[in-house]
Amino acid sequence: MCHAPDAAAMRIDVLTLFPEMFQSVLGASILKRAAEPVTDPATGRVRPPVVRYVLSDIRDYSTDRHQKVDRPPYGGGPGMVMQCQPVWDAVKAVEAEQPELAPTRILMTPQGRRLDQALVQQLAEKPRLLIIAGHYEGIDQRVIDRLQPMEEISIGDYVLTGGELPAMVLIDAVVRLQPGVLGHEDSSQDESFSQSLEGGLDYPHYTRPAVWEGMSVPEVLLSGNHAEIEAWRREQARRRTGERRPDLLPPEG
Ligand code: ADE
């Protein structure tokens, strides 16, 4: 589907005023492991890092004496607007670090296209992403215009204090799709929004014990009949999708 197993690591640049916010998320668990070489204990083979995170502080690029990056909006109103200069210089400097690898530029903003699994899959195939996490009331529109083409992406119809958490959400969703990141190569197959579930919701899952607090696991899952289990799961997934997210059902016909 996407890269060959030994494809070069995806580079993810993040431009933010708060790089420290990313340390705990990118420095733990699966996102951390994705940026490290991992040795398979069974074969001794080393899987190289599949991703490289490069965090840049936009403030470092401010030419202001006091390293200011934001000013009140023209026309009045609340809040502050991020200025063009530091954002533009940061993007240009970071892109020049690896000029042969032009990034897909992304701005996290509530005014963007809403993120869904189809968009995540598209982005997961790119060799390099450059994500700008805006803060304050927004970014001066002129630098957004000048940085086109740039995907403006929202993680949902609610407003957060900045683009940092949305950037982390996007990174998590993209990195887990890189080959070799999830323990089992299949583990992003049968999941909500996947093609194998027709873009719908996942089915319910059960594990031991077979009876808990008087509640039994559905009989069919203990039957060992894989065809029946598959059919039951697909039926459950369809039913849930119809009940909870009818907007995700495939068109009739
Ligand atoms: N910045 C603030 N709110 C946001 C959202 N919902 N999505 C992306 N960026 C944001």
CATH number of 89's domain: 3.40.1280.10
Going by pLDDT thresholds of 50, 70 and 90, the confidence category of residue 252 is confident
Do 201 and 160 sit in the same domain of this protein? Answer: no
> Of ligand 1's atoms, which has the minimum distance to the CA of residue 161?
2
Q: Which of these, 164, 190, 143, lies nearest to 57 by C-alpha position?
A: 164
Residue nearest to atom 10 of ligand 1 (CA): 109
* Domain assignment present for 58: yes
Residue nearest to atom 5 of ligand 1 (CA): 110
Going by pLDDT thresholds of 50, 70 and 90, the confidence category of residue 3 is very low
Do 129 and 92 sit in the same domain of this protein? Answer: yes
pTM: 0.93
Residue nearest to atom 2 of ligand 1 (CA): 160
* Domain assignment present for 190: no
Prior bond to 204 cis, omega within 30? Answer: no
- 110 CB under 6 A from ligand 1? yes
Q: Does residue 86 come out as left (phi exceeding 0), alpha (psi in the -120 to 50 range) or beta?
A: alpha
* Domain assignment present for 57: yes
Do 67 and 154 sit in the same domain of this protein? Answer: yes
Do 72 and 124 sit in the same domain of this protein? Answer: yes
* Domain assignment present for 217: yes
- 108 CB under 6 A from ligand 1? yes
Going by pLDDT thresholds of 50, 70 and 90, the confidence category of residue 186 is low
- 156 CB under 6 A from ligand 1? yes
* Domain assignment present for 170: yes
- 158 CB under 6 A from ligand 1? yes
List the domain range (segments joined by +) for residue 53. Answer: 10-175
pLDDT over 70 (residue 1): no
pLDDT over 90 (residue 208): yes
- 17 CB under 6 A from ligand 1? no
Do 19 and 95 sit in the same domain of this protein? Answer: yes
- 42 CB under 6 A from ligand 1? no
* pLDDT, mean over the chain: 94
CATH number reported for the structural domain that contains residue 242 in this entry = 1.10.1270.20
